[in-house]
């Protein structure tokens, strides 16, 4: 009897044809809301893999992982930018954008800097009360291509499709784990980026040509902008969005950011049992669910303590990683002068948090 293999839900045709990870905005390890985003902000705030950039403006935004999504399309989450403090008259150097960076080793098949460079098609769902022209950009190695899309109907989900021709000029994309190029969605820009002619074909990076015609999402505190279903694929047509199972999407995000948390009753346990120590530090062996892109930084979010047989130990300084092996395992050190954990209790020590808290490992581009 012939056996027919049934693909996992969401996998169709050419699996992983979407270059964008977490384009459905379903993973948000850092949290579902970030307030007070203003000038000087260039961070990953909520939804995994999506970086916010805001420069030289008094405007302030709140970013959330929202449940407002296009009806009947299969999406459960979107990313929302909500203007909470307006800047109706933008200074010349203002930049406001949402950015996605892609590893160069994942882009080699596009054959950039070659006569056979492949076109890319970007598709996404977008919604805003602020109608008008918006700009999407691919930026790489001193070269850009910029295309416009229009939000036609206020506060209505609309699907947009933009095709970017392949870049036959410039230099080849480096075949490594650094950024090969970025996708930017502009939200508002000053005259330094709007005074020229929109660069709709590949060319040398020229600020004045990057965001010509872009509306100012920050001109009113009534303004908000939502996006989901972002897909970037080789070719000149957009296919249906490639939904991936949650665990697959999560593991792909964990290559860049990982907040391990395992909950046991009211207490959360992180990582594994304790390892080495001296009088001033304790080291824990850490194995991430997937190899991270590069040696990660470690940041304590909230309160992270250590538990052993005879109680909790607080007041640690986290941040030293040693014994890194290709981003696949390492030791994280908790430092505290005369911590007091006895040798007899060490095999049972685990990294623990009594309140909301995590150790965040960050290997973002």
The per-residue pLDDT for 348 is 66
pLDDT tens for each residue of 64-111: 999 999 999 999 999 999 999 999 999 999 999 999 999 999 999 999
Q: What is the mean pLDDT of the chain?
A: 91
The per-residue pLDDT for 343 is 79
pLDDT tens for each residue of 278-337: 888 888 888 899 999 998 999 998 888 888 877 788 899 998 777 777 788 888 888 999
Asked if 357 and 348 count as a contact pair (C-beta separation under 8 A), the reply is: no
The per-residue pLDDT for 272 is 66
The per-residue pLDDT for 7 is 38
pLDDT tens for each residue of 158-178: 999 999 999 999 999 999 999
For the cut 80, the answer to whether the pLDDT of residue 353 exceeds it is no
For the cut 80, the answer to whether the pLDDT of residue 21 exceeds it is yes
Domain 257-362 belongs in CATH node 2.60.40: yes
The per-residue pLDDT for 335 is 92
Percent of the chain with pLDDT over 70: 92
The per-residue pLDDT for 6 is 34
Top-tier CATH class for 33-254 = mainly beta
For the cut 90, the answer to whether the pLDDT of residue 261 exceeds it is no
Mean pLDDT of 248-275: 81
Q: Where are the domains of the chain?
A: 33-254, 257-362
Q: Which residue has the higher pLDDT, 276 or 365?
A: 365
59 falls in which pLDDT band (50, 70, 90)? very high
For the cut 60, the answer to whether the pLDDT of residue 139 exceeds it is yes
For the ranges 12-26, 195-209, 237-251, the lowest mean pLDDT is seen at 12-26
| Separation CA 28–CA 22 (nearest Å) | 9
């Amino acid at each position: 009897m012939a056996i027919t293999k049934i693909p996992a839900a969401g996998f169709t045709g050419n699996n992983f044809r979407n270059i964008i990870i977490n384009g459905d905005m379903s993973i948000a390890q850092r949290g579902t809301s970030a307030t007070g985003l203003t000038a000087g902000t260039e961070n990953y705030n909520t939804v995994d893999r999506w970086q916010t950039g805001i420069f030289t403006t008094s405007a302030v935004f709140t970013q959330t992982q929202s449940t407002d999504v296009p009806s009947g399309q299969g999406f459960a989450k979107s990313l929302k930018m909500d203007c909470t403090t307006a800047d109706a008259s933008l200074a010349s150097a203002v930049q406001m954008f949402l950015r996605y960076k892609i590893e160069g080793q994942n882009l080699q098949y596009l054959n950039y800097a070659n006569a056979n460079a492949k076109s890319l098609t970007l598709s996404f769902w977008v919604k805003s009360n602020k109608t008008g022209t918006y700009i999407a950009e691919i930026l790489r190695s001193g070269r850009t291509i910029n295309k416009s899309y229009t939000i036609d109907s206020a506060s209505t989900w609309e699907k947009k499709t933009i095709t970017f021709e392949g870049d036959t000029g410039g230099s080849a994309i480096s075949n490594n784990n650094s950024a090969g190029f970025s996708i930017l969605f502009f939200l508002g820009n000053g005259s330094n980026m709007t005074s020229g002619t929109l660069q709709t074909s590949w060319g040398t990076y020229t600020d004045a040509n990057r965001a010509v015609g872009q509306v100012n999402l920050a001109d009113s505190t009534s303004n908000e902008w939502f996006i989901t279903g972002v897909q970037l694929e080789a070719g000149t047509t957009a296919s249906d969005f490639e939904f991936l199972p949650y665990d697959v999407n999560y593991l792909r995000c964990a290559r860049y950011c990982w907040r391990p948390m395992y909950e046991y009753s009211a207490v959360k346990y992180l990582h594994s049992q304790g390892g080495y120590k001296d009088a001033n530090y304790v080291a824990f062996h850490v194995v991430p669910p997937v190899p991270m892109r590069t040696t990660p930084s470690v940041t304590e979010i909230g309160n992270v303590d250590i538990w052993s047989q005879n109680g909790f130990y607080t007041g640690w300084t986290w941040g030293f990683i040693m014994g890194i092996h290709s981003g696949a395992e390492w030791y994280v050190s908790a430092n505290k002068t005369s911590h007091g954990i006895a040798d007899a209790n060490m095999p049972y020590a685990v990294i623990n948090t009594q309140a909301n808290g995590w150790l965040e490992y960050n290997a973002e581009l």
